[in-house]
Amino acid sequence: MSWTHKDLLGVRELSREEILFLLDTADSFRDISRRDIKKVPTLRGKTVITLFYEPSTRTRVSFEIAAKRLSADAVNISTASSSVVKGESLVDTGRNLQSMRPDVIVIRHSMPGAPHMLSRILDCSIINAGDGAHEHPTQALLDLFTIREKKETVDGLKIAIIGDIAHSRVARSNIFALKKFDTEITCCAPLTMLPPGLASLGVKVTDRLDEAVADKDVIMMLRIQKERGGTSYIPSIREYASLYCLNEEHVGRARKDVIIMHPGPMNRGVEISDAVADGPYSVILDQVENGVAVRMAILYLLSGGES
């Protein structure tokens, strides 16, 4: 199989076979990060720019490390210290970066479709590192990688996704990705955080946490954006936590070998209790480790490599 996409804008556009191909490629890269000398020359001479219009620790560092371990030159732009603060438009920023001949631009933006815009006007590869409430494809891919690693297969699993589904790019990308496999997905949140028509994506929907976690193989928690507290979505973070904070009792209702996932950064005591976050079922730090391998794989494939 060869990789035919110029960009990675979303997982929705990928086939099941392409996803598995990418995960297999990531498998072959994972050991590099566990060696003493964590570097291979695969992408020597390639330039990767990370262009982040939103704050990020995990994703940005993960991309940078992935690029560097493949010997690509990584350049990081955060908008607080760039000409964006001088009012430069995204299109102009993109065209200017293009003139410096990068091979890949990794973009995170608060608005859906921003990576698509860059993709239309630039020749280099674009990776969507999160665009508003739309997609966060590498997060879904590393989540699938982690699920496959722990469960051997993605098919046949029952998965709960819990939190602010309406505003979550992680939820969307995971739903799109998991629906390409034989999975049963249950989304859970107060109605105010569930987008209307969600069930039409082929998922179950409930506002009861007890119901959502019952008999699940995988529980994915979403980060509650604290700035949404006290708005029209929930009256307070405290009340939300009293209803939707995942604790050990909930975990007890799931399958014995359940894994608990979270894309980070966690709000301990809000959507997830300390005991669960640090407990035996948590694979949250595995997700972070696998993120590097998955991002190495996508950088490699977009740069023309084949497994």
Partner 1 sequence: MTILIKHGRLIDPKNDRDERVDILIRGDAIEKIDKNLSGAAADRVIDAEGLVVAPGLIDVHVHLREPGFEWKETIRTGTMAAAKGGFTSVVCMANTDPVNDNKSVTEYIMEKARAEGVVRVFPCGAVTKGLKGEDLSEMGEMRAAGAVAISDDGKSVRNAQLFLKAMEYARLFDLAVICHCEDDALGRGVVHEGLASLVSGLDPVPCLAEEIIVQRDIALAAYVGSPVHITHISTEGSIAIIRGEKRRYDKVTADTCPHYFTLTDEATLTYDTATKVNPPLRAASDVAALKEGLRDGTIDIIATDHAPHDATSKDVEFNLASSGISGLETALALCLGLVEEGILDLKGLIRKMTVNPARLLDLPFGEAAPGKPADLIVFSDRAEWTIDRGAFLSKGKNTPFHGRKVRGKNLLTIVGGRIVYSDPDFR
- Long-range Cβ pairs for the range 35-39 (8 Å, 24+): 38/69, 39/68, 39/69, 39/70, 39/71
**Residue 15 in contact with partner 1, rule: CB under 8 A:** no
Q: Considering only residues 159-188, where is the footprint of partner 1 by CB under 8 A?
A: 169, 172
**Residue 116 in contact with partner 1, rule: CB under 8 A:** yes
Give the one residue of 56, 68, 73, 195 binding partner 1; rule: CB under 8 A: 195
Closer to partner 1 by Cβ: residue 103 or 131: 131
**Residue 135 in contact with partner 1, rule: CB under 8 A:** yes
Q: Considering only residues 212-271, where is the footprint of partner 1 by CB under 8 A?
A: none
Q: How many residues bind partner 1 (CB under 8 A)?
A: 24
**Residue 280 in contact with partner 1, rule: CB under 8 A:** no
Closer to partner 1 by Cβ: residue 109 or 223: 109
Work out how close the CB of 127 gets to partner 1 at its nearest, in angstroms, rounded to a whole number: 16
**Residue 200 in contact with partner 1, rule: CB under 8 A:** yes
Work out how close the CB of 187 gets to partner 1 at its nearest, in angstroms, rounded to a whole number: 12
**Residue 133 in contact with partner 1, rule: CB under 8 A:** yes
**Residue 90 in contact with partner 1, rule: CB under 8 A:** yes
Give the one residue of 84, 117, 214, 266 binding partner 1; rule: CB under 8 A: 117
**Residue 65 in contact with partner 1, rule: CB under 8 A:** no
**Residue 113 in contact with partner 1, rule: CB under 8 A:** yes
Cβ 12 vs Cβ 176: under 8 Å: yes
Alpha-carbon distance 46 to 198, whole Å?
41
Binding residues for partner 1 (CB under 8 A): 12, 89-91, 109, 111-114, 116-117, 131-135, 169, 172, 195-198, 200-201
